[in-house]
C-alpha cells in the first residue's frame, strides 16, 4: 500500500471542523449552566451561538472556525473555546495542534521533536534486558521497535506468531488490535483498549501531521478495519490508556497488569513501556510461569532477530 502524502491545509481544516463539531455535540446546555427552554432542540449538544457566547466571540467568527478557517486564531481564543466546550488537557492540546497546522509559517509553530527512526541505541536494549518484568519501546506510530524477552512473551501473538496479513518489520499494536481476530480474545476488555488506542493515535496525528508513517498506518487501518474507521470518526483524543491492562494469554491465562508509559528524553518521539503485577497475586504467578515458558520457548535467535539496534 502506498503511503499518502503529508496532509495539506485542506486536510487540517477538515480536522478542525470535525473536531469542533464532535466536541460541541457532547456538551449539553445543562453542563455549562445555560437555561433550557422547553421544546425540541435540533442539535444534541450546544448550538453554535451558545458556544460563541460562552467563548466571548461573535457567532460569525465561531462559525468560520468550525468550518476550519482557523488561520491566525489567537491562543486566547483557543483557550476560550476549550473552556466553553469543556475540553480536557488532551483535547485542548489537540485543538492547539490542529490550529498550528493551518497557521501561517512561523506563527504558533512549536512541535515536540519526533524521531523518524525505528531503531534504538544498544544501551536502551541493555536497559530493557535488565528488567525482570515486561518492558518495550514504542514509537509514535505504535511500532514496538525494541522489547525484552518478557514483553515478547507477554505479547507472543504479536511478536512470535503474527498472522501473515498483519506481520510487518516491527510489531504494531494497532495492527494487532484491529486486524488480528485473536486480539478480541487476547484482550478481554477489547473495546475500551481499542478506544484508548485510537484516541492516542489521533492525538499523535495532530501533534505531527507530517509524519508520513503514521498517516500511512491510519489510512491502512481505515481501509481494512470498519471498527477502526468508526472509532477514528469520533475524533476522541487521550494522553494514555486506562491504568490497568488485562490480557488473556494463550499459555498462562489471565494477567492483570499495571504499566507506566514514559517519554524517552534521550530519544524524542519514543516511549518506554514498563509493566508490572501486584506482588503475591494470581497475576504474579502467571507472570512467573510466563517467564519460565519464555526461557524455554523463545530462542536467542528469535529474540535477537526482532531487536534491531542502531550504532551510536
Query: Residues of the chain with pLDDT > 90: what percent?
Result: 58
Q: What are phi and psi of 66, to 5 degrees?
A: -70, -20
pLDDT of residue 151 exceeding 90: yes
Q: Per-residue pLDDT averaged across 178-197, rounded? A: 95
pLDDT digits (tens, 9 = 90+) for 284-310: 999 999 999 999 888 553 443 344 444
Percent of the chain having pLDDT more than 70?
85
pLDDT top residue among 150 and 103: 150
Query: Between helices 75-84 and 59-66, what is the axis angle to 10°?
Result: 90
Question: For 234-291, what is each residue's pLDDT tens digit?
Answer: 999 988 766 689 999 999 999 999 988 888 888 888 899 999 999 999 999 999 999 9
| Alpha-carbon span 148 to 56, nearest angstrom | 52
pTM of the model: 0.81
pLDDT tens for residues 82-98?
Answer: 999 999 999 999 999 99
Q: Which helix (H) or strand (E) holds 244?
A: strand 244-249
pLDDT of 46 strictly over 80: yes
The two most distant CA atoms of the chain are separated, in Å, by: 70
The DSSP H or E segment spanning 297 is helix 282-297
Cα(138)–Cα(136) distance, integer angstroms:
7
Residue 219 has pLDDT above 90, yes or no: yes
Tens digits of residue pLDDT in 166-175: 777 789 999 9
The whole-number pLDDT of residue 225 equals: 96
Using CB atoms within 10 Å of the CB of residue 140, give its burial: 0 to 12 exposed, 13 to 18 middle, 19+ buried: buried
Distance CA 99, CA 159 (A): 38
112 pLDDT more than 70: no
Q: Which of 35-44, 124-133, 229-238 has the lowest mean pLDDT?
A: 35-44
Per-residue pLDDT tens over the stretch 11-43? 888 999 999 999 999 999 989 988 877 666 777
Walk me through the domains of the chain, giving residue ranges and CATH numbers.
9-102 (1.10.260.40), 122-305 (3.30.450.180)
- What pLDDT was estimated at residue 299? 59
Phi (first) and psi of residue 27, to 5 degrees: -105, 120
Amino acid at each position: 500500500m502506498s503511503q499518502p502524502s503529508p496532509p495539506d491545509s485542506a486536510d487540517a481544516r477538515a480536522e478542525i471542523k470535525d473536531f469542533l463539531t464532535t466536541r460541541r455535540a457532547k456538551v449539553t446546555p445543562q453542563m455549562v449552566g445555560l437555561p433550557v427552554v422547553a421544546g425540541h432542540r435540533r442539535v444534541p449538544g450546544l448550538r453554535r451561538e451558545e458556544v460563541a457566547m460562552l467563548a466571548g466571540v461573535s457567532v460569525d467568527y465561531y462559525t468560520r472556525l468550525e468550518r476550519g478557517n482557523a488561520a491566525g486564531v489567537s491562543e486566547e481564543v483557543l483557550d476560550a473555546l476549550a473552556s466553553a466546550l469543556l475540553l480536557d488537557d488532551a483535547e485542548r492540546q489537540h485543538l492547539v495542534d490542529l490550529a498550528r497546522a493551518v497557521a501561517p509559517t512561523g506563527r504558533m509553530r512549536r512541535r515536540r521533536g519526533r524521531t523518524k527512526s525505528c531503531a534504538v541505541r544498544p544501551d536502551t536494549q541493555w536497559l530493557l534486558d535488565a528488567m525482570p518484568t515486561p518492558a518495550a519501546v514504542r514509537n509514535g506510530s505504535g511500532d514496538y521497535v525494541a522489547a525484552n524477552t518478557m514483553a515478547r512473551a507477554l505479547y507472543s501473538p504479536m511478536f512470535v506468531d503474527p498472522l501473515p496479513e498483519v506481520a510487518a518489520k516491527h510489531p504494531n499494536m494497532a495492527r494487532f488490535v484491529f486486524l488480528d481476530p485473536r486480539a478480541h480474545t487476547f484482550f478481554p476488555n477489547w473495546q475500551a483498549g481499542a478506544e484508548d488506542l485510537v484516541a492516542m493515535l489521533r492525538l499523535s496525528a495532530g501533534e505531527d501531521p507530517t509524519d508520513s508513517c503514521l498517516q500511512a498506518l491510519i489510512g491502512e487501518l481505515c481501509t481494512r478495519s470498519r471498527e477502526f474507521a468508526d472509532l477514528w470518526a469520533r475524533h476522541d483524543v487521550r494522553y494514555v490508556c486506562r491504568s490497568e491492562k488485562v490480557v488473556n494469554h494463550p499459555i498462562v491465562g489471565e494477567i492483570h497488569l499495571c504499566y507506566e508509559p514514559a517519554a524517552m528524553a534521550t530519544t524524542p518521539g519514543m516511549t518506554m513501556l514498563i509493566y508490572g503485577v501486584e506482588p503475591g497475586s494470581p497475576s504474579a504467578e502467571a507472570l512467573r510461569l510466563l517467564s519460565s515458558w519464555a526461557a524455554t520457548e523463545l530462542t536467542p535467535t528469535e529474540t535477537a532477530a526482532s531487536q534491531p539496534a542502531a550504532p551510536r
